[in-house]
Amino acid sequence: MDDSIKRWTAKRKTALVSEIIQGKTTVAEASRSFDLTPSEIEGWVEDAKRGMENSLRANPLDIREQYEKQLKDLQEAYGEAMLELRARKKAASPAGCAGRELIRSIQQGLLSEGIMVSIAKLCAWFGVPRRTVYYTPTKAAPKVDPRFADPIKEMIEQEPSFGYRTVAWLLGFNKNTVQRIFQLKGWQVRKRAIGMRPRIQAVPSVATAPNERWSTDLARVWTGKDGWASLALVIDCHTRELLGWHLSRSGKATTATAALEHALIARFGTLGRVEREFLLRSDNGLVFTSRHFTALVRSYGLRQEFITPHCPQQNGMVERVIRTLKEQCTHRHRFESIQHATRVIGDWISFYNHRRPHQALAMRTPAEAFRLAA
């Protein structure tokens, strides 16, 4: 060896390792001579042996093994790519799925075809964190207190058309609590679909004080063996109070006259000319435009006003009362006769005037609204 070389270059290491392999020196002698550790010299020897082994391995058989390994790796990569493509096609089919539901649905779809793919691989393909798939929600389902739910259920079974405000007022519960229970239980009243229809500009059927404007209209009611009957109603447009009504087998002017006289007695206590003239609104039906009815209205000191033809929304207050009466009363009973219908409708009108709250009256009943206004 050339002792003038001071640095342990690759050439100097090769010379020392060759002497040790040839037996000219030992690891211990080299360690003492060159002030090196035995482990360091042994590491050089092992590296040299591995290098010689690799250089001698380059024969046709080894090259074939390398090609076969590369081909196998390519086949595995191609198979995984095709599997990922299949999974992505399945991911396009379920609509509205994301995260955990997406990964689970894809795995189940592939499993049904006999292909097992791990959750980790699917998450890597679709960029979904694994913790999203494995996460189990711990939030408990909302609980409903039976102290509130039972009375509410009992009331809406009796009156299915009652909304949450009416139920809350009648039971003395907080309306937000009742609304929440309605939502959780699916007890909301379904609203009727209303399409877009043209409206004209006209004076609405409203009043700023009692006995300023009344409104009247007719409705048809099935009374069993007595057939169809006509129901005439009269309401005060300010208090929404049903003042007069009459159910008759004939739809003549006498039916509307009886309802009007009933309203005058209920409000003023007697029949006769009113002290101050006020309006009576109606549609243009033959009953309300007849000579008998118009003469009677004038004799009591009232002044008639008629809505625009084919515009029932201008008489909306009494039309809305008729709808409420049908939903909550007449459509829920199978009347046997006109006497049976008269009794049931009379009970409901009493309930409407004295017990049923009205949202437009700040959840007061029509009778309470009249007392406050008077």
Q: Are 340 and 224 in contact (CB under 8 A)?
A: yes
> In degrees to the nearest 10, what's the CA dihedral of 272, 273, 278, 284?
70
**How far is it, in rounded angstroms, from Cα 61 to Cα 69?**
13
Nearest CA-CA partner of 252 in 198, 292, 203: 292
Q: In this predicted model, what pLDDT tens digit does every residue of 304-340 receive, in sequence order?
A: 999 988 888 889 999 999 999 999 999 999 999 999 9
First to last CA, the chain: 128
Question: What's the CA gap between 308 and 293, in Å, rounded?
Answer: 19
Q: How would you label 178-217 residue by residue, b for 16+ Cβ within 10 Å and e otherwise?
A: bbebbeeeebeeeeeeeeeeeeeeeeebebeebbebbbbb
Summary mean pLDDT of the chain: 83
pLDDT of residue 194: 57
Rg (the chain; Cα; Å) = 47
Q: Burial of 173 by CB count in 10 Å (0-12 exposed, 13-18 middle, 19+ buried)? A: middle
Per the DSSP assignment, residues forming a β-bridge with 51 are: none
Amino acid occupying residue 287: V
- The HSE-up count of residue 103 (CA atoms within 13 Å, CB side) is 21
Tens digit of each residue's pLDDT (9 = 90 or more) over 182-199:
988 888 877 666 554 444
**Which pair of structure tokens corresponds to residue 89?**
């096609």
Residue-range domain boundaries for the chain:
10-56, 60-134, 146-185, 213-373
Mean per-residue pLDDT, 358-363: 88
Cα 100 from chain centroid (whole Å): 22
Report the pLDDT value the prediction gives residue 56, as an integer from 0 to 100: 63
pLDDT at 14: 85
pLDDT reading at 200 higher than 70: no
Structure tokens, 363:
């959840």
Please state, for a pLDDT cut of 90, what percent of the chain lies above it.
39
Homologous superfamily of 213-373: Ribonuclease H-like superfamily/Ribonuclease H (3.30.420.10)
Q: What's residue 198's pLDDT?
A: 46
